Amino acid sequence: SDLQKQEERGELLQPLIFVLLVFCSVLLYFKVSLMDPGFVKSEEEVKACKSEEQSMVTPQVPSNIKMRRCGYCMVKQPMRAKHCQLCQHCVRRYDHHCPWIENCVGEKNHPLFIVYLSVQLVVLLWGGHVAWSGLYFEQSWGWLQHNVLLLMSFLVIVIFTIVVLLLLISHLYLISCNTTTWEFMSHHRISYLRHSELENPFDQGVILNLWRFFC
């Protein structure tokens, strides 16, 4: 059959890989959006604070900075944690609340969020290439009528590709500096950064920052 001939020529391999990537992207989306981003729980208060201090505090961070109690959920916040008004929880190593996944990006799901963005970017680039290869431009109204959906799909893919690419680059840059989106945007309002002698007391070099984040 034609299907068997295409399989023998290897013509089904690329579509199969593309479908698997799309499926993987969907699974990652639900995983990141439904998982615990690192909510600070009251029964883990003391343990969370101790582990956070041991792993995150450096000698350059002022010793007089004390862990404060959240005025909303009344748990003692570890360093780098922040209360999310939308999730109604304090999140450890809070980065931001992402409306795309309807969940916070924090200590537990941040690495997986980066993986999701990477897979999504590959899918978008591949889909854009497929859409572009199907366009044969002609200066006629009939051509536009027959290709308007494909042209609109290509433009939408380009827009989403730019958004995902910029988001991925910005996150990788912040990770390489061992800082979060919240810390980068609100540096002047955060006590442990405002009173520190260094601009970023958590930065331990690009290689070590990336290693500790992903590994």
- Residue 92 identity (one-letter amino acid): R
Q: Is 104 a catalytic residue?
A: no
C-alpha span between 22 and 123 (Å, rounded): 7
What interhelical angle do 13-34 and 110-133 show, nearest 10?
150
If you ran DSSP here, which 8-state letter would residue 105 be given? E
Other beta carbons within 10 angstroms of residue 25's beta carbon come to 19
- The angle subtended at Cα 92 by Cα 89 and Cα 93, nearest 5°, is 130
What does the block give as tokens for 131?
């859409």
- Selecting among 73, 87, 98, 215, the annotated active-site residue is 98
Other beta carbons within 10 angstroms of residue 32's beta carbon come to 24
Positions marked catalytic:
98
